[in-house]
Chains A and B, each alone.
Chain A
Amino acid sequence: MTKTTTGGISRRTLLKGSAITAGFIGTTAVTGFPAVHADEPITLRYLSTATNQSPAIAAKAKEVTGINVEYVTVTTDDVTKRIITQPDSFDLVDSEYASLPNLIPSGNLMGIDAKKVKLVDKLATVMTKGEINGKKIGDQGTAPHKVFYLEKQRGKEFAKEQTEWITLIPTTYNADTLGIRPDLIKRPIESWAELLNPEFKGKAAILNIPSIGIMDAAMVNEAMGLVKYGDKGNMTKEEIDKTIATLIEAKKAGQFRAFWTDFNESVNLMASGETVIQSMWSPAVTAVRLKGIPCTFQPLKEGYRAWASGFGLPKTLKGKKLDAAYEFINWFLDGWAGAYLNRQGYYAAVLETAKENMEPYEWAFWMEGKPAEKDIHGPDGGLLEKAGTVRDGGSYDTRMGAVACWNSTMKENAYMVQKWNEFIAA
């Protein structure tokens, strides 16, 4: 009985949702989420990395939708591993688009019904079409728009055209580059090639997650003019060999101080001055800066390596939990969470609603690349940037517009991992 009620209300909300989508999107401040869950709270087990989780988001979701979010925190690789080996151990997953070529053929995720996602037409075009303001951006690797749609709900093939079945609903995405210590380098850095510049011998680092490390290495190789790639995100065996050869040569010459695999290691290396230039992630740069140590997320002329992650649903999810998952996704896109993520330096899936939930000066700093009018605070209230600073890499359009390639799963993945191990052992 309760079940029918819930179903009915969800459908009604959805109808309302599509009406809004059809008409006037801009004005949808939380239009009455059903309060029916209040007496019988539903718990969603939300699988993702620590990066995508925040107690504040879970608390706000509970307040607005009545849904309990129970975070299951694992590493990036374990998200993939859990989806493939234990698809019943979660109700909602936040996974990287780059893993999809492995996830979709496993059949453990089901397509998300676009009709049930209210703001589906407002999802950033970077994700859905690979373009910003109608202009194409770099799409080497597993660019989200290549793996965005499925042919049918339980399909194992990606659709080339837009369909009503979406693989993942975007949560966050960003463009990564090299992190540097401007105080120790003391000159402008403009190219990925600098990572292997002998000037920084013994003071460079690369990340030891093969699928991402190889992309950074490819950016370096290409910048040095050593290898010309067809698609950096889908290399041939020969391209892999050449890329690894450059790395091995640099390693033997003592270029690298260390390799890192997790966020904190990269922060420690940079903050302690063990390295002055390295592959890095945006929040890690912020973490170094919060210690009062200068660190720049350096924009480079060859462009960025981008990544994106999004919500997926396990194939076994049904009934009230399925409705709750859609409700949570709709709430997530509604702006509060998007603003929260934008303030962490990531980008939200629906920009319009995130904007409504941010102060104009925050939006100007994070998204428009303008100097901060006031001090910029993180979502937890901590001071991130003083008034007057400009975000590294500038505005959304400049940063995402300069994407050169995306994190990916290559066809030659097994061979790549084998060669990567060779590099580590060299």
Chain B
Amino acid sequence: MLEAKSRWTPYWQAAPLALVFLIFFILPLLVTFIVSFWTYTGYSIAPAFVSDNYLTAFDKCFSSLPDLCTTFRTYLSTLKFCFLVWLITLVLGFTIAYYLTFEIKTPTMRIVLALLTTIPFWTSNVIRMISWIPLLGRNGLVNQALMGAGITSQPIDWLLYSSFSVTLSLVHINTVFMIVPILNSMSRIDRSLIEAAYDNGASAWQTLWNVIIPLTKTGIAIGSIFVITVVMGDFISVGLMGGQQIASAGKVIETQITALQFPIAAANAIVLLAVVLMIIWTMLRFVDIRKEL
């Protein structure tokens, strides 16, 4: 009796979370998948099993090569931002986490500084991005300062509504997602390992490369997953900061939903999900998060 109970204990303990996942994650995903094969008009969607939506999403994608079709061009642009933002947030996040862990001596100060890194989250995403406009705009602070200092004679246009501003705002928003997990795994590194490396004559770079980085791999992987999934699905930052002139996979889906074309939007969502899953799967080839947690 007691044995039977204990055998089932883990299951019912996990049940509430499993249920939440089932209702709010698995089911919607399943519905999205099913709907992606339906047909639609401007005002209705009808159950069917057609691949038209996927065919439309990849319309002329293979026949027009080497010219890129809309979908390929959109994903290429999204992937470009993804890579850039990932790289910059990684370098920034790692450096900040390193500084907080190894250079700051008192735990109180460390906590205070770590909390400071969350400042960008004290306001909403949209407000954060809107505040870039008076800074980077044609008549913004940066341009005024540059022209006032005599460095440029004309306002620089590419500061705003460009790939530059999109990357900048995405880095601004996402760096903290990198800092936190890296900080977490870094603070768990046993200091004696670093001392041992030093005693054995390792240089600072060698210690970093051979001791610290391998031991923070989990944090890096988790941070990367956060950043990559957020950037791949983002359309608000890309829209506002790119002056809506830069396509993103999310925006394509949003436009289609707005036009009430739910099935094709669902098909595009499934494609986006597949791309993101492939990236994450590739990353997990390098780091076994579960083993190292």
The CA-CA distance from A197 to B160 in the complex, in Å, is: 22
Interface string of B34-63 (1 = CB under 8 A from A): 000000111110000000000010010000
Chain A residues with CB under 8 Å of B56's CB are: 418
Is B77 within 8 A of A425, CB to CB?
A: yes
Q: Is B187 an interface residue, CB under 8 A from the partner?
A: no
- Inter-subunit contact B139/A102 (CB<8 Å): no
Q: Which of B99-107, B189-197, B251-259 contacts A (4 or more CB under 8 A)?
A: B251-259
Q: How large is the interface on A (under 10, 10 to 19, 20 to 34, 35 or more residues)?
A: 35 or more
List A residues 193-248 near B (Cβ within 8 Å): 202, 208-211
Check B243 against A258 for contact (C-beta < 8 Å). Answer: yes
**Contact with B161, one of A77, A81, A257 (Cβ below 8 angstroms):** A257
Complexed CA–CA distance, A209 and B239 (Å): 13
**In the docked arrangement, what's the CA distance between A13 and B44, Å?**
39
Q: Are A258 and B244 in contact (CB under 8 A)?
A: yes
CA gap between A211 and B138 in the complex, in Å:
30
CA distance A257 to B77 in the complex (A): 19
Residues 266-321 of A at the B interface (beta carbon under 8 Å): 268, 272-274
Given contacts A202-B157, A272-B133, A424-B251, A103 and B259 within 8 Å (CB-CB): no
* Minimal Cβ-Cβ distance residue in A for B139: A273
A101-B42 contact, Cβ under 8 Å, with A202-B157, A272-B139, A425-B77: yes
B100: shortest Cβ distance to chain A, in Å? 37
Q: Which residues of B contact A426 (CB under 8 A)?
A: 73
Q: Point out the residues of chain B lying under 8 angstroms from A256, CB to CB.
A: 243, 245
- CB nearest neighbor in B for A80: B260
Q: Within 8 Å of chain B (Cβ to Cβ): is A388?
A: no
Chain A's interface: helix, strand, loop or mixed, by majority? helix
B260 adjacent to A258 (CB under 8 Å)? no
A421 at the interface (CB under 8 A from B): yes
Complex contact B245–A258 (CB within 8 A): yes
B137 on the A face (CB < 8 A): yes
B169 at the interface (CB under 8 A from A): no
How many whole Å from A117's CB to the nearest CB in chain B? 26
A259 to B134, CA, bound (A): 18
Determine the distance from Cα of A274 to Cα of B43 in the docked complex, in whole angstroms: 37
Chain A residues whose C-beta falls within 8 Å of the C-beta of B138 in the assembled complex: 272-274
Q: Once the chains are docked, how many angstroms separate the CA of A12 from the CA of B70?
A: 61
Query: Are A417 and B74 neighbours in the complex by a CB distance under 8 Å?
Result: no
Q: Give A189 to B257 CA distance when docked, in angstroms.
A: 36
- Give the interface of A toward B (CB within 8 A): 77, 80-81, 84, 101-103, 105-106, 202, 208-211, 251, 256-261, 265, 268, 272-274, 409, 413-414, 417-418, 420-422, 424-426
A-B pairs with beta carbons under 8 Å apart, 12 shown: A102-B42, A102-B260, A105-B41, A105-B43, A211-B259, A272-B138, A413-B259, A414-B264, A421-B74, A424-B244, A425-B74, A425-B77
Besides the known contacts A80-B260, A261-B239, A417-B256, 4 further A-B residue pairs in the complex with CB atoms under 8 A apart: A261-B244, A265-B240, A409-B42, A425-B70
